[in-house]
A = this chain, B = another copy of it.
Amino acid sequence: MRMVVNQGELEDKIVMTSKAVAKKTAKPVLSGFLFEVSSEGVFVNATDLETGVRATVQADEVEGEGKFVVDASTFLDIVKNLPNDVVVLEYDEDVLNISSGRSSFSLSTMDASEFPEFSFAETDSFVEIDTSILEDMIDKVIYAAATDEFMKNLNGVYWEFTDTGLRLVASDGFRLALIEQNLESTLGMSFLISLKSMKELQNVISNTSEPAVRLRYDGKRFSVEAGDVQVTMRVVDADFPDYRRVLPKEYNTKVVLSKTEALDALKRTMIIAKKGSDAVKLEASEDGVILTSRSPDYGEAREELEADFEGENIEAAFNPKFLQEAFRNVDTEEIELYFVSSTAPLKIKGFEKEEYFYIVMPIRLA
């Protein structure tokens, strides 16, 4: 088997495929790319058995056919650094020869028949969404997911296809982020996708130049297709909690802050907070907002912020990192905070925006 391919095209496709390569694995073949070359085209595949990526490599010339598995990190490193646009790959007797300009490599390969099947059953129905919109939706919720893999039902992002569109929700039990987007069609399904799969999907979405992607569900797996690259994700076998229970329906205090000022003040109070109990106290009244933090060994910080205020005076403490992540993800320069009480969930959202919001639980004041 021999093929000629453009360096940029090959690099693009293996970069998108690379994140699905298994990191630590007892099955060496999973640390490689499976290349499949036939009259149907050239495909590169990787999977960690939870997520799979399959990409078509647009080759300039192909002779013969064959399958081989090559160590992914070595191959990626080589392709990224090749000196010339024209790359020739030749596979013969278990050796892959790569040549470009005056550089050449002979790489050992692994047995393609050992590479596991991780495919998606083709479906007719799909939902189309702008790539940039989906990328932004994922960015705005993914950080709120639990990072502990043992918390199976929170270690991921919940995809909820409603009658009117798509809603993504993530929560680690202490805070929750939710974003909605109207769409013309629906898959009529809801499922949880693991954080690991979500990160592999993010890698493909952020590297593709396709303006829109297609979402499909085959009964077991969820797939996102960006042109000739397809990401297939196993749906998590766990129920995402009933998040609607924690969404506050009313409020007793409303505060509007400047995002820039609030983020700067938070950053300073965090210097002291991280040396102590990792908490920042927020006091809101007609006079504005006061943030304070305290460490028994290092001292205290105090910040005053101007704020629009409405309702009852309030005092509540929060993990400052959880506030910071919420504020950063709000699109408007003014941020709205809705309090019920010192111990009830706080709702944070953009100024007069409804499609994205964030809920955070206070820390009990000592």
Q: Which residue of B104, B265, B268 is within 8 Å of A302 (Cβ)?
A: B104
B103 touches A298 (CB 8 A): no
Question: Which residues from chain B contact A301 at a C-beta distance below 8 Å?
Answer: 78, 103-105
- Contacts A102-B305, A305-B102; A268 near B300 (Cβ below 8 A): no
A274-315 residues with Cβ-Cβ distance < 8 A to B are 275, 297-305
> Chain A interface: which size bin?
20 to 34
A303 touches B107 (CB 8 A): no
A103 touches B299 (CB 8 A): no
Asked if A95 is at the interface of the complex by the 8 Å CB criterion, the answer is yes
Question: Which residues from chain B contact A78 at a C-beta distance below 8 Å?
Answer: 268, 271, 301
Asked if A108 is at the interface of the complex by the 8 Å CB criterion, the answer is yes
Question: Which residues from chain B contact A104 at a C-beta distance below 8 Å?
Answer: 301-302
Per the bound structure, the CA–CA distance linking A83 and B304 in Å amounts to 11
B265 touches A77 (CB 8 A): no
Max chain B Cβ within 10 angstroms of own Cβ: one of A95, A102, A267: A102
Q: Which residue of B107, B264, B275, B299 is within 8 Å of A299 (Cβ)?
A: B107
A264 touches B304 (CB 8 A): no
Question: Which residues from chain B contact A299 at a C-beta distance below 8 Å?
Answer: 95-96, 105-108
- Contacts A102-B304, A103-B302, A303-B103; A108 near B297 (Cβ below 8 A): yes
Question: Which residues from chain B contact A39 at a C-beta distance below 8 Å?
Answer: none
Asked if A229 is at the interface of the complex by the 8 Å CB criterion, the answer is no
- Contacts A74-B275, A275-B74; A300 near B267 (Cβ below 8 A): no
A77 touches B271 (CB 8 A): yes
Q: Which A residues fall within an 8 A CB radius of B?
A: 71, 74, 77-78, 81-83, 95-96, 102-108, 264-265, 267-268, 271-272, 275, 297-305
